């Protein structure tokens, strides 16, 4: 159980590394949120002793740490490339004249 709790607290680090490497995007992590929640409860049910308190004490922090990981990944991810702002500015000034 110590190993399971230790790995659970590495979830934000793993998410940040995956986003930083370009393996996954923050938008994909948001889409996969429901699958992660189900997976967290399945892992908690398998790893912990057969009682609800132990399962919840592992699954709930995993879900919260997934959310923290998404927030941290958003901070370190590269901003999406915007349209060429120089062209759009030139077009808007040309149309206004």
pLDDT in tens, 6-36: 888 899 999 999 999 889 989 999 999 999 9
Q: DSSP character for 73?
A: H
* pLDDT tens column, 41-76: 999 999 988 889 999 999 999 999 999 999 999 998
Cα 44 vs. chain centroid, distance in angstroms?
19
59 touches 44 (CB < 8 A): yes
Match 């991810």 to its residue by tokens: 77
For the CA atoms of 5, 7, 10, 12, the dihedral, rounded to the nearest 10 degrees, stands at: -80
Distance CA 40, CA 50 (A): 15
């Amino acid at each position: 159980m110590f190993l399971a709790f230790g790995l659970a607290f590495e979830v934000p680090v793993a998410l940040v590394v995956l986003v930083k490497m370009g393996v996954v995007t923050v938008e994909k992590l948001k889409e996969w949120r429901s699958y992660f929640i189900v997976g967290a409860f399945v892992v908690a049910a398998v790893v912990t002793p057969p009682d609800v308190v132990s399962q919840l004490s592992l699954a709930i922090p995993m879900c919260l740490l997934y959310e923290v990981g998404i927030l941290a990944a958003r901070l370190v991810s590269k901003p999406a490339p915007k349209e060429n702002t120089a062209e759009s500015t030139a077009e808007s000034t040309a149309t206004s004249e």
